[in-house]
Amino acid sequence: MTTSTRIPKEIEEVLSTHRRGFLKSAGLLVVSFATGIDALVAEAAAQNTTAAEPLGPYPDPNFRQLDSWIVIHENNTATFYVGKTDPGQGTGTSFRQLMSDELDIAFDQTTCIMGSTDITVDQGGSGGSTAMERDSWPMRRAAAEARRVLLEMASGRLGAPVDQLAASNAVITVKADPSKRVTYGELIAGKKFNVTLTGANVNVVTGVAKVKPVQELKYTGQPLQRDDIPAKVDGSLKWAVDVKLPGMVHARNVKPPFACAKLTGIDESPVRNLPGFIKVVSKGNYVAVVCEREEQAIHAARQLKTTWEKSATAPFPASEDLFEYMRAAAPTSASHPIVMGNPDTAFSGAARVIEAEYEIPFQGHTAFAGAHATADPSNGQMTVYSNDMKAYSMRTGVAAFLGMPRERVRVVYMQGPQCFGRSAAEDAACEAAWIAREIGRPVRMQWMRHEETAWDTKGPAFLVKVRGGMDAEGHLVAYDYNARSCDYNHVGYNEPDTVLIAQLMGSRRAKPAAGSSAMPSEVYAIPHRRMVGEVVSLPLVWETPLRTGNLRDPNGPQSTFAAESFIDELAAAAKSDPLEFRINMLTAATADDTGFRRARSIAVLKAAAQAYGWDPRPSPKPLGKGNILTGRGVAYSFRGQTVVAQIAEIEVNRQTGHVWAKRLVCAHDCGLVVNPESLRHTVECATLHGLSRAIHEEVQFDTEKITSVDWVSHPTLRHADIPERIDVVVVNGDPNPNRPDLPPYGAGEAALKPMLAAIANAIYDATGVRIRRAPFRDARVLAALKAARL
Amino acid sequence: MSNITLKVNGSTHTLDIEPATPLLYILRNDLGLQGPRFGCGLGQCGACTVIINGAAVRSCILPASSVKGDITTLEGLSSNGRLHPLQQAWIDEQVPQCGFCQNGQIMTAKAMLDKNPHPTDAQIRESMNGTLCRCMTHYRIQAAIKRAAQGMSKARPASGKEVGA
């Protein structure tokens, strides 16, 4: 975007005029600048990291001030400030596309800064696939308002009414005489808009201007390359793990060897004379070692002698006994049943009743690198550098945990291994901050692999019982769904009293979080239904590595595995093609289709079928001969307003039980597509994440500790697992021609939902064996095949 | 502590360090490199991969004193400001999501292509199988390797005679 060989001019301007002097504060590290100036930015950032200047107190950027969102520079470029974080789905690039369109500025003349609590408004960071669906709207409205204000300013400057002006590429001209022109930079650079926006909260904040109709958006809908990728492949990106501060030291945790264990002694003698040793810090059951160098801290944490007392009662059953335990446990809570029609009567009148029970174990976030954060306590403030997607709640959480005023804490978001929800990055931040305050020096904390895999928060295990009543024609007329999740004391985002270090130091909530279960995500027309979600608790729920927290599409993959496996069982019982069976249930009530949800579902299922080349027939197919059995399975979900249908074609090795998804199709409708390339990428990766959870991921434990502690004992998808072919079909829109302006809906999490069921259904199609327990690891599949005498 | 000399991306460094220190921490914390990263510390994931004597090596479990040979990191792949064909292919295929593993993917792929410029799909899967990715960008990684292999073989002269001609 610039050919300058020095620090870009707009950065200098920001430096001199920006209300917060952010460049000096290393907040610059988070920028996702356009291709071409990455190196310059990285260089400037590197210089500024080492010269990090403790500032503070730190403001809350006012979302009702236009200047908080957009700064226009003398060289006619713009910087957008948004309260989001982009862990790699390309949302930052998409925000620029939308805002460039609304502002009428060339995309490559813009940059976007995200997620630093003192310079970007609080939009909550990331989560829930809300980037486009919810959070892009205030950005668009702010950009539209900036354009409106600039046109008014130009009207005065050019002596022409606004309606006789045109704005394009950050230049405003008089329509009748384009030689009369003024640039945005000439109008506003070095000055502030000083325009107040209105709205009760950041999600609804708006100016006077209206956003453009979709048809007038130029960059929106274009497959522009992501602006964060070049620095990720040439080694120039400075990640949260790369933060280096003057005087910084390294810390490593000494985790309890058993869940819910009590620390009874620390013997420092093995570490006291180690090179670089600084201190053992401990409070309650929390222990960490601090050293000058990273490898010294790792070594010292291994050498430190600690003694622990096991809990009197077993904190949890062993993983192989988990579902028996869950079956027998009294629920800690249950949702109010959702009842439609009269299910009891319908069941009693049904020609046939089918029941099944599904089991999904705990699955981990298992971020690619151990949780980490660097905390700087300089000058009585606390700056935390973190890759946590929730920078804003981290600020509040760290402040509350430390008992510091919130204005003295800031969080600088930087790139890191993708979090997938409430990850241990939040625990590491409080640990780094606490130790930094204890020793008065900047502290870099990182968890080791065994800590990350064992102690990160888990997606809850689910036990789901489903019952279906069919009439004589094979239609589903009654449906009874009961989900039971092991989710009591669910850990929220950046909670100062449930973050792991707080628990280890003795913090207890009087009333633990209730946790949640989940309903099926579909819009089938089933006349009589009853659905309930229950939660059960493990015996002990504090200071345990079996703590649950939001994991990408929380509870969705679990409930959809059960619900969509069961639909397949019904289709098989009815000897119907499983795809047609679904479409029939969606078609049955399209006359009563508020919001065209069923019409859109049918369109997406048909798009998947067409891309795959689906030939209608009941499952299972006649059993093949030879070692490799092939089959195909479909599953579907409706999440929020996003529709997904996935088809998996698999091979099952009869001798080994190994399942390979040879081909995957994902048809996806999330409304308005801002960047089709980023969307395809997001959908593809989420689909494969679903595959990983279908065939690999399971947290295992004995009655006192997690035994899944690394990539061997908690495996993840590998290159050899990757399908030969993946088709992502972007359906993009409502089949109803009267609704051209569908807004954007959430994209990523929705695509994770159906894959477990699609694989299970494909295994059934190939083998005639229904596996109701995920994941479909080789040994489990082989055992199921042998049990069926295959 | 003892003096250890390392040649990294063409530059020679002599450092006074504990000889058992894994190479990764020296590259990152003493030499300021950001390509190799800590992922597991167990040699299981590949995030820390560097190339030594043409082989992709896990620097998180490699004692610095045992290094014999020139070390290349991700930062050393580009030459004269031009990205390595693999890096360019990574951009063309828009491979990364979070990107944290991509150092290992690119460096492992480079070591593979240097030995086998025309890998089959099966060879790519096998060579890359120990290099993990939690964002699940594997499909694009494999596509990018194929793209780079095609581009690199196009750029390579067909025979020594043609170069001389």
ipTM of the complex: 0.94
pLDDT at position A200: 98
How close B156 comes to chain A (CA, Å)? 22
* Cα A302 from chain centroid (whole Å): 33
In this structure, is residue A148 part of a structural domain? yes
Instruction: State in Å, rounded, how far the first CA of chain B is from the last one.
Output: 54
Please say which residue of A196, A213, A232 terminates a domain: A232
Contact B74 A234 (CB under 8 A): yes
Q: Which residues of A touch B78 (CB under 8 A)?
A: 234
A556 three-class SS: helix
Is the pLDDT score of A36 beyond 80? Answer: no
Identify the domain containing residue A119 by its residue range: 9-232
Name the more confident of B165 and A507: A507
Q: Which residues of B touch A239 (CB under 8 A)?
A: 34, 37, 100
Is the pLDDT score of B164 beyond 90? Answer: no
Q: Which of B1, B77, B125 sits opposite A719 (nearest CB)?
A: B125
Q: Can you say whether the dihedral through the CA atoms of A592, A596, A597, A598 is positive or negative?
A: positive
Contact B138 A722 (CB under 8 A): yes
Contact A720 B99 (CB under 8 A): no
pLDDT in tens, A688-706: 999 999 999 999 999 999 9
Contact B100 A416 (CB under 8 A): yes
Sheet with A165-168, strands from edge to edge, namely A165-168, A171-174, A177-183
Contact A233 B90 (CB under 8 A): yes
Q: Are A53 and A118 in contact (CB under 8 A)?
A: no
**Looking at residues A710-735, what average pLDDT do you find?**
92
For A418, what's the count of Cα atoms within 13 Å in the CB-facing half-sphere?
26
**Looking at residues A69-97, what average pLDDT do you find?**
97
pLDDT in tens, A73-83: 999 999 999 99
**Looking at residues B109-138, what average pLDDT do you find?**
98
Q: Can you say whether the dihedral through the CA atoms of A392, A393, A396, A399 is positive or negative?
A: negative
pLDDT at position B160: 45
Is the pLDDT score of A29 beyond 90? Answer: no
Is the pLDDT score of A48 beyond 70? Answer: no
Scanning every residue of chain B, which has its alpha carbon at the shortest distance from the alpha carbon of A447?
Answer: B40
Q: Which residues of B touch A368 (CB under 8 A)?
A: 39, 45, 47, 98, 100-101, 132-135
Chain B interface disruption, residue of A50, A233, A415, most B CBs within 10 A: A233
Q: Where in chain B is the domain with CATH 3.10.20.30?
A: 2-76
**Looking at residues A385-398, what average pLDDT do you find?**
98
Q: Are A482 and A532 in contact (CB under 8 A)?
A: yes
Q: Which two tokens stand for residue B6?
A: 């390392």
In this structure, is residue A170 part of a structural domain? yes
Please say which residue of A556, A591, A626 terminates a domain: A556
Q: Are A543 and A316 in contact (CB under 8 A)?
A: no
Please check whether residues A212 and A334 belong to one and the same domain. Answer: no
Q: Which residues of B touch A235 (CB under 8 A)?
A: 33-35, 73-75, 77, 103
- The CATH number of whichever domain residue A352 belongs to comes to 3.30.365.10
Is the pLDDT score of B165 beyond 50? Answer: no
Distance CA A27, CA A673 (A): 31
Question: Number of folded domains in chain A?
Answer: 2
Please check whether residues A191 and A324 belong to one and the same domain. Answer: no
Q: Which two tokens stand for residue A672?
A: 């308005």
Please check whether residues A28 and A145 belong to one and the same domain. Answer: yes
Q: Which two tokens stand for residue A720?
A: 């050899």
pLDDT in tens, A317-375: 999 999 999 999 999 999 999 999 999 999 999 999 999 999 999 999 999 999 999 99
pLDDT at position A595: 75
pLDDT in tens, A276-310: 999 999 999 999 999 999 999 999 999 999 999 99
pLDDT in tens, A412-456: 999 999 989 999 999 999 999 999 999 999 999 999 999 999 999
% of residues, chain A, pLDDT over 70: 92
Q: Which two tokens stand for residue A580?
A: 């047609």
pLDDT in tens, A193-222: 999 999 999 999 999 999 999 989 999 999
pLDDT in tens, A442-499: 999 999 999 999 999 999 999 999 999 999 999 999 999 999 999 999 999 999 999 9
Q: Which residues of A touch B90 (CB under 8 A)?
A: 229, 233
pLDDT grade for B159, boundaries at 50, 70 and 90: very low
Q: Which of A298, A678, A684 sits opposite B139 (nearest CB)?
A: A684
As assigned by CATH, the class of the B2-76 domain is alpha beta
Please say which residue of A537, A556, A575 terminates a domain: A556
A674 three-class SS: coil
Q: Are A698 and A682 in contact (CB under 8 A)?
A: no
Q: Where in chain B is the domain with CATH 1.10.150.120?
A: 85-155
Report which residue type is found at B46: G
**Looking at residues A43-67, what average pLDDT do you find?**
68
Contact A239 B90 (CB under 8 A): no
Contact B136 A692 (CB under 8 A): yes
**Residue that has been written with the tokens 């290349």 in this structure:** B72
**What is chain B's alpha carbon radius of gyration, rounded to the nearest angstrom?**
16
Q: Which residues of B touch A682 (CB under 8 A)?
A: 97
Query: How many A-B residue pairs are in contact by the CB < 8 A criterion?
Result: 175
Sheet with B11-17, strands from edge to edge, namely B11-17, B2-8, B71-72, B49-52, B55-58
Contact A233 B91 (CB under 8 A): yes
CATH 1.10.150.120 fits B85-155, yes or no: yes
Please check whether residues A120 and A226 belong to one and the same domain. Answer: yes
How close B29 comes to chain A (CA, Å)? 8
Q: Output the CA angle A591-A592-A594, nearest 5 degrees.
A: 120
pLDDT at position B1: 81
Contact A368 B142 (CB under 8 A): no
Distances (CA, A) of A471 to A32, A352, A475, A477, A705: 58, 7, 5, 6, 48
Say which DSSP state A483 is in. Answer: E
Please check whether residues A77 and A225 belong to one and the same domain. Answer: yes
Contact B98 A368 (CB under 8 A): yes
How close B68 comes to chain A (CA, Å)? 21
Distance CA A705, CA A736 (A): 54
**Looking at residues B40-65, what average pLDDT do you find?**
98
pLDDT at position A25: 33
Please check whether residues A223 and A360 belong to one and the same domain. Answer: no
pLDDT at position A21: 35
Contact B98 A417 (CB under 8 A): yes
The secondary structure of A331-374, three-state, reads CCEECCCEEECCHHHHHHCCCEEEEEEEEECCEECCCCCCCEEE
Contact B40 A710 (CB under 8 A): yes
Contact B47 A241 (CB under 8 A): no
The reported pTM is 0.94
Contact A448 B75 (CB under 8 A): no
How close B137 comes to chain A (CA, Å)? 6
Q: Which residues of B touch A721 (CB under 8 A)?
A: 138
Contact B83 A716 (CB under 8 A): no
Is the pLDDT score of A588 beyond 90? Answer: no
How close B160 comes to chain A (CA, Å)? 31
pLDDT at position A590: 65
Please check whether residues A65 and A182 belong to one and the same domain. Answer: yes
Q: Are A754 and A608 in contact (CB under 8 A)?
A: no
| Phi and psi angles of residue A353, each rounded to the nearest 5 degrees, phi first | -120, 130
Q: For the residues of B39-88, what is the DSSP string, one character each?
A: S-SSSSS-TTEEEETTEEEEGGGSBGGG--S-EE-GGGS-BTTBPPHHHH
Contact B25 A293 (CB under 8 A): yes
Q: Output the CA angle A686-A688-A693, nearest 5 degrees.
A: 95
How close A717 comes to chain B (CA, Å)? 7
* Cα A274 from chain centroid (whole Å): 41
Please check whether residues A45 and A176 belong to one and the same domain. Answer: yes
% of residues, chain A, pLDDT over 90: 89
Contact A295 B142 (CB under 8 A): no
A782 three-class SS: helix
Q: Which residues of B touch A724 (CB under 8 A)?
A: 121
pLDDT at position A49: 40
pLDDT grade for A667, boundaries at 50, 70 and 90: very high
Q: For the residues of A116-183, what is the DSSP string, one character each?
A: BTTTS--S--S-TT-IIIIIHHHHHHHHHHHHHHHHHHHHHHHTS-GGGEEEETTEEEETTEEEEEEE
Distance CA A701, CA A194 (A): 58
Chain A interface disruption, residue of B25, B134, B137, B145, most A CBs within 10 A: B134
Q: Which of A88, A368, A719 sits opposite B39 (nearest CB)?
A: A368
DSSP element (H, E) containing A258:
none
Please check whether residues A472 and A344 belong to one and the same domain. Answer: yes
Distance CA A498, CA A253 (A): 17
In this structure, is residue A137 part of a structural domain? yes
Distance CA B118, CA B135 (A): 27
In this structure, is residue A338 part of a structural domain? yes
